[in-house]
Amino acid sequence: MSGPEPPILELRDLTKSFGGLVAVNRVSLDLGPGAIASIIGPNGAGKTTLFNMVSAVTAPTSGTMRFRGTDLRRPLDARARRTLAAGAAAGAAASVLAGWGLDLFAALTTEPFSWTGGPSRAAAALFAGSPATALAAAAGAAAGGTACLGAWALDRWRPDRAAELGIARTFQNIRLFRDMTVLENVLVGQAPRLLSGLAGILLGSRAVRAEEREARRRGLEALAFVGLPGREHALAGSLPYGDQRRVEIARALAGRPALLLLDEPTAGMNPAETGDLTRLIREVRDRLGVTVLIIEHHMEVVMGISERVVVLDHGERIADGTPGEVRSDPRVIEAYLGRGHGQGRPGA
């Protein structure tokens, strides 16, 4: 008999500091595949910062993150190592050429130039193999390699890598290109998975055209799934607020994610829109098999849709369990309502 499936998302001692402020403090979390889970907590608890780290918008100060068994950091793979080697070689070559140039200049200027002695002095300078040249080569290699390593480290956490691995998200504030059509906005979400290179795009190759048709087909499917068929040519900024939220979700789904992060998806919605979006989130999991992690302040939504609730307070995880367990946890009640409120419910 097979055991439980491994977690789709594994966070270990995840910490994010901004100067002296610790926004997220040693949070560990395992999220199983096919779950609908929510992260709740008071304002400033670190919820969005946690999302930003998982989606590689920002890098953690310490800790590790694994998604479907893969480290979310861009690995120091063969391609990166070749880049480092090329940087070291370029630095060494530049240093050697600079040293040779100085030697050559000295050889040609110490005595008046003549066609009989000048070329021989220049050749001797170029092929002398002095210790200074070797030292310059080593220093240049170190400088070139260090520069490439630093550039790689700064670029190690990248949202496009998270998207390639299968993580998609929406934001607390709607982030659509308002003057682009609905379909164009959805196509943007597929960019990390497109394989065409610059040459193929400029030449309009058959492979590029086929990839564009497939991207358009997936975009239209995503719009139909979220309930917006036939609206692909409308300007995104002209849609009602609730429909703009649906466009954001369609854009995220068009990239075929395995994990969908929703940051306050029902914020600003009326009760009818909230009910419709709650049903859509269930369909994302049930029909598409996508794991969903939600940040939400609307407690009726959280308790009604979530199978698991994680509570953060001042950057730390203070509770983790079913909605019923979290609702009655004294630490959660205190975080939301303060001391002396008995057994009231969060958000009540």
Round to whole Å and give the CA distance between 234 and 290: 27
**Six-digit token string for 10:** 């594994």
**With bands split at pLDDT 50, 70 and 90, how would you rate the model's confidence at 332?**
confident
Mean of pLDDT values over 131-137: 60
Write the pLDDT tens digit of every residue in 82-126.
766 776 677 666 665 665 565 555 555 665 555 555 556 555 555
Residue type for 137, please? A
Give 141-145 contacts, CB < 8 A, sequence gap 24+. Answer: 141/88, 141/89, 141/91, 141/92, 141/95, 142/88, 142/91, 143/91, 143/95, 144/87, 144/88, 144/89, 144/90, 144/91, 144/92, 144/94, 145/84, 145/85, 145/87, 145/88, 145/91
Residue 187 pLDDT greater than 70, yes or no: yes
279 vs 115, more confident: 279
The structural domains of the chain, ordered by start, are 1-73+158-166+257-348 (3.40.50.300), 78-154 (no CATH), 176-241 (no CATH)
Closest-CA residue to 347 (of 22, 38, 46): 38
Look at residue 120 in the predicted model and tell me its pLDDT: 61
Closest CA to 191 of 166, 222, 233, 160: 160
- State both tokens at 155: 């670029």
Of 195 and 14, which is predicted with more confidence? 14
Taking the whole predicted model, whether its pTM rises above 0.85 is answered as: no
Among residues 254, 247, 252, 244, which one has the least CA distance to residue 216?
254
Average pLDDT over residues 69-83: 69
3-state per-residue secondary structure call for 47-72: HHHHHHHHCCCCCCCEEEEEECCEEC
How is the beta sheet containing 316-321 ordered, strand by strand?
167-169, 259-263, 291-295, 36-40, 308-313, 316-321
Structure tokens at 102: 């100085």
- What was the pLDDT predicted at 119? 56
Cα–Cα distance measured from residue 333 to residue 129, given in angstroms and rounded to the nearest whole number: 76
Q: Calculate the CA dihedral of residues 220, 226, 232, 238 and round it to 10 degrees.
A: -160
pLDDT at 294: 95
Instruction: Give buried/exposed letters for 37-71 (b at 16+ CB in 10 A, else e).
Output: bbbbbeeebbbbbbbbbbbbbbebeebebbbeeee
- Assign 345 a pLDDT band (cuts: 50, 70, 90): very low
| pLDDT at residue 223 is higher than 90 | yes
